[in-house]
Amino acid sequence: MPYRSTHHEVLAAVFQVRPQQGSATGGKPVLHVLLWQRALDPERGRWSLPGGRLGHDETLTDSVRRQLAEKVDLRELAHLEQLAVFSDPDRVPGDRTIASTFLGLVPSPATPELPSDTRWHPVSDLPPMAFDHGPMVDHAHNRLVAKLSYTNIGFALAPSEFALSTLRDIYSAALGHPVDATNLQRVLERRHVITRTGTTARSGRSGGRPAALYRFADPRYRVTDEFAALRPPG
């Protein structure tokens, strides 16, 4: 059947490492994705990636930033980049609509205020998703995992200063498997990705030696080792 028109939309998979609430994990950091609940048909009530139609006078990046600001009141992102195009003719009902997806990252422990129809959901436990948005989340997560291996993109998930244990938890949550803090330190220091700040964290209630604080050497996205891969233990 011929299509009378073709539309273009932009959709953003925005991730943040956050403590998991209301579970047996005891607040263990897990990777979350930002979703908003559809109020209209089709797929009323299902969760979807924030975004919408590309304006006639907009670039893709300008459009996705506008959509995030207008629909979920998210204006500050540490990293945003275009990922893929989803062009199946039957991906949504009605006129053919091509979707360009973006990867967005919010650092911990930022707490952006969200509308009532928008929530953070653990990537490992997604709710029923609209259209093909579930595969879009999977694709964006896979790209993030790959980029954590060969770029410095971790800067967009981490606080401005952090102990190695905090960075380990962030990488473990984003990668989906445990990461050894000592090995992570060795790899990232060898690639000149992180550097010591010369300060230490406050001692906890149990006392002990204060942990050294680190920061990312360059808070701008760059490739550090194009052939590297952070693999699960064993």
Spatial distance between the Cα atoms of 223 and 153, rounded to a whole number of angstroms = 9
What pLDDT is recorded for position 207?
58
Rounded to whole angstroms, how far apart are CA atoms 66 and 73?
9
Task: Please provide residue 184's backbone torsions phi and psi, each rounded to the nearest 5 degrees.
Answer: -65, -45
Alpha-carbon Rg of the chain, whole angstroms?
19
In order along its 234 residues, the chain shows pLDDT tens digits of: 555 689 999 999 999 999 987 655 557 899 999 999 998 889 999 999 999 999 999 999 999 999 999 988 898 899 999 999 999 999 999 999 999 999 999 999 899 989 999 999 999 999 999 999 999 999 999 999 999 999 999 999 999 999 999 999 999 999 999 999 999 999 999 999 999 999 998 765 555 678 999 999 998 999 998 777 777 776
Whole-prediction pTM: 0.93
Q: Domain spans of the chain?
A: 6-148, 152-216
Can you say how many angstroms the Cα of residue 160 is from the centroid of all Cα atoms in its chain? 17
Core vs surface per residue 204-222: b (16+ CB within 10 A) or e? eeeeeeebebbbbbeeebe
Q: From the centroid of its chain, how far is CA 28?
A: 17
Q: Are strands 96-105 and 6-19 parallel, antiparallel or unpaired?
A: parallel
Quote the CA–CA distance of 203 and 208 in Å, as a whole number: 7
Question: Which ranges in the chain belong to alpha helices (H)?
Answer: 60-72, 133-150, 164-175, 181-190
Assign domain 6-148 to its CATH architecture: Alpha-Beta Complex (3.90)
pLDDT of 231 reads 77
Look up the CATH architecture of domain 152-216. Answer: Orthogonal Bundle (1.10)
Which amino acid belongs to residue 130?
A: A
